[in-house]
Amino acid sequence: MKHYKRILVTAALPYANGPVHIGHLAGCYLPADIYVRYQRAQKRDIKFVGGSDEHGVPITIRAMKEGVSPQQIVDKYHAIIKDSFEKMGISFDIYSRTSNAVHHHTSADFFKKLYDAGLFEEKETEQYYDEQAKVFLADRYITGTCPVCGNPNAYGDQCEKCGSALSPEQLISPRSTLSDAVPVKRKTKHWYFPLQNYEEWLKQWVLEDHKEWKNNVYGQCKSWLDSGLQSRAMTRDSSWGVKVPLPDAEGKVLYVWFDAPIGYISATKELTDKWEDYWCKEDTKLVHFIGKDNIVFHCIIFPSMLRAHGNFVLPDNVPANEFLNIEGDKVSTSRNWAVWVHEYVKDFPGCEDVLRYVLCANAPETKDNDFTWKDFQDRNNSELVAIFGNFINRALVLMHKLCGGKVPVFHNDIIDSTDQQLIADIKQAVEKVTRNLEEYRFREALFEVIELSRKGNRYMQEKEPWIKAKKIAEGGEAAERAQKEIDNCLHLSLQLTANLAILINPFLPGTAKKILHMLKVVEKMLDWENAGSLKLLSVGYSLRAPELLFRKIEDSEIAAQIEKLKANAVDKATVAAPPAEDKADTLVLKPEIVYDDFAKLDLRVGTIDAASKVEKADKLLKLEIDLGFEKRTIVSGIALHFKPEEIVGKQVVVVANLAPRKMRGIESNGMILMAEDKAGKLHFVKPEDAIAPGAGVS
């Protein structure tokens, strides 16, 4: 095990085009915060950095839709997100943002260094261009009708209604979201980062040197590395982002995924002049907390960038969590199926720790997990209120009733095996919690804390000080003995309470503070080195009156939340089947052409002689078409609409002079014309009566 002198923890930069929901918290911010708070209690040199990711196309689109500038969008959400984190006690040392100057300089310098070292490939490709707005269009800027589900507002990279991954070419009647113009192709130059050059090194570094990474992380990296890496464009045509620091790069910015992780470096720079200690010294332990959607960027791309740059340390671990579902359905921002953090803190003021508890106790550490409001209520009422809170409350109440409000003496002469067992349990719990926290098993660690308070309840049940109190009235030797036993029970219970404050602190910092207040001790007591000690509270010290740590959560509150969730959600059915009248959008005509444009097409009638599914392709059929004068193979993406056997013998119209194109290794010579109905179903375009194959169409 390597020895580290300092730790740098990062949490994924949330994208500033919306607020954060509880899935974000459970996925990375909460585990990161728990880890950081624990390490701080260990008095280790640790920094916790984060910030808003404010570049990229979706933000510009949102800005356009709302008629404001991108900066206004990110200002708005940056503030909301930052506030949500503060309220939930996510204790960043700095929460920065990628739109500020430090970050622009840092990421531009980073790019320039790789450029100067000749580590990029320059490539010219054809991209869609909006001649009216005079800008290149990223896939997201192009909308049109989804060829799969008929949604008229599908994006060029994805249809958000049916989830199909698309490319702009597939859209029916594509148009620019900027000007509504029909996009045209134009050449543009970009800088590509050749990830394949780092493949061998990555295989060693990830697959051999980091076998201890979590299963889900390791497996996904292996999947990527086994399938081979390719160059990725690290620049984009856009006006919003970090300008590419080269003379011939007007209108080009860094790809948001190039600049976002560099945001960790920028934020550290802002935080401290000693930022290089955390980024450039080998004895720094760098840990990235992320959700599973970010694994490839943090385990493959960013490390390759850091390696190429050469001056930076690489992550020691990337403990990515899986996803948190809500009430059985996966979180969807477009359907508004989510529990938003800024709304939670309003609806449940003072219950921030309860959410922290539930999200940690049921964190998706090994697989996707489900959040339900019922579970939220159950865990609060039966674990926080009935076990943890109850133990501390009864210890303090009894102490006030039976020991005059002061920490009683511990009488060593009557210590018994029950006492000794409790003492052993405390020490063992400290060990377990510590080990689990070090190894990123936060759920297990938290369970051990609650388990310890459960043992406290058991201990008290066995000692029954309230029964012994009855003997005191009798007077004499029996009374004296009873008081000593009561003293011992409550002395240990109070020391346990103090220990619970230390152990619960990383998870529920607000709760730990409340306990400190009741015990009238200073925050210093929470130092981790004090965990396991039985001398945290001095004998004779008077304590405050107990207050309840948690309140019960009523059925009505839960019902209201479920109601709210369902009322605000966009109906699934609405999403899946867009209203038919929206198809009117397809009425927008393409630009006018002249006869010669049309005459270039050679359209022929053909007969399908044979059809078969293309291996390893969901959507492709391989068709043998008889054109009379010759037979051809045409590959067509219609497998989802037709079974091969039901289309053999049918006549179709073929674009016969289309350039050949290979798909899945099969050369396709031409294309079949199809018409799409309102339901998105495809129909062949064919002559009314069967005619000889090869007949021209004009």
Verify binding: residue 42, RNA, rule CB under 7 A.
no
Region binding RNA by CB under 7 A among candidate stretches 131-139, 215-223, 247-255, 272-280: 215-223
Dig out the tokens for 28 from the structure: 């990375």
Which of 367, 435, 643, 681: binder of RNA (CB under 7 A)?
A: 367
Region binding RNA by CB under 7 A among candidate stretches 56-64, 122-130, 473-481, 614-622: 614-622
Verify binding: residue 443, RNA, rule CB under 7 A.
yes
Q: Give 172's DSSP letter.
A: E
Q: How far is the CB of 413 from RNA (least distance, A)?
A: 25
| Sites for RNA among residues 321-340 (CB under 7 A) | 322-323, 325, 328, 330
Verify binding: residue 668, RNA, rule CB under 7 A.
yes
How far apart CA 161 and CA 490 sit, in angstroms, is: 61
Region binding RNA by CB under 7 A among candidate stretches 189-197, 339-347, 544-552, 559-567: 544-552
- Position 333: which residue type? T
Q: How far is the CB of 65 from RNA (least distance, A)?
A: 23
Choose between 107 and 668: whose C-beta lies nearer to RNA: 668
Verify binding: residue 661, RNA, rule CB under 7 A.
yes
Residue found under tokens 């009733």: 401
Verify binding: residue 454, RNA, rule CB under 7 A.
yes
Q: How far is the CB of 534 from RNA (least distance, A)?
A: 21
Q: In sequence order, what DSSP letters do the residues of 105-165 get, joined into one string? A: HHHHHHHHHHHHTT--EEEEEEEEEETTTTEE--GGGEEEE-TTT--TTEESSB-TTT--B
Region binding RNA by CB under 7 A among candidate stretches 55-63, 90-98, 271-279, 608-616: 608-616
Asked if residue 181 lies in contact with residue 144, where contact means CB atoms within 8 angstroms, the answer is: no
Q: 363: part of which helix (H) or strand (E)?
A: none
Asked if residue 338 lies in contact with residue 23, where contact means CB atoms within 8 angstroms, the answer is: yes
Region binding RNA by CB under 7 A among candidate stretches 61-69, 178-186, 271-279, 609-617: 609-617
Which of 309, 411, 458, 631: binder of RNA (CB under 7 A)?
A: 458
Verify binding: residue 222, RNA, rule CB under 7 A.
yes
Which of 40, 97, 292, 432: binder of RNA (CB under 7 A)?
A: 292
Length of the chain: 698
Verify binding: residue 676, RNA, rule CB under 7 A.
no
Q: How far is the CB of 323 from RNA (least distance, A)?
A: 6
How far apart CA 167 and CA 170 sit, in angstroms, is: 6
Verify binding: residue 471, RNA, rule CB under 7 A.
no
Asked if residue 81 lies in contact with residue 52, where contact means CB atoms within 8 angstroms, the answer is: yes
Q: 121-130 and 184-194: which strand pairing?
A: antiparallel
| Residue 577 CB-density burial (10 A; 0-12 exposed, 13-18 middle, 19+ buried) | middle
Residue found under tokens 């007591």: 525
How far apart CA 419 and CA 463 sit, in angstroms, is: 9
Choose between 571 and 688: whose C-beta lies nearer to RNA: 571
How far apart CA 449 and CA 429 sit, in angstroms, is: 7
Verify binding: residue 513, RNA, rule CB under 7 A.
no
Which of 5, 112, 517, 552: binder of RNA (CB under 7 A)?
A: 552
Compute how many other C-beta atoms are within 10 angstroms of the C-beta atom of residue 76.
Answer: 16
Q: How far is the CB of 348 from RNA (least distance, A)?
A: 15
Residue environment code for 405-438, b if the CB has 16+ CB neighbours within 10 A, otherwise e: ebbbebeeeeeeeebeebbebbeebbebbbebbe
Dig out the tokens for 70 from the structure: 């991108």
Q: How far is the CB of 524 from RNA (least distance, A)?
A: 26
Region binding RNA by CB under 7 A among candidate stretches 101-109, 178-186, 303-311, 455-463: 455-463
Verify binding: residue 637, RNA, rule CB under 7 A.
yes
Verify binding: residue 650, RNA, rule CB under 7 A.
no
Q: How far is the CB of 615 from RNA (least distance, A)?
A: 7
Which of 280, 478, 548, 679: binder of RNA (CB under 7 A)?
A: 548
Size of site (CB under 7 A) for RNA: 85
| Sites for RNA among residues 117-176 (CB under 7 A) | 147-148, 164-167, 169-170
Choose between 74 and 351: whose C-beta lies nearer to RNA: 351
How far apart CA 159 and CA 134 sit, in angstroms, is: 25
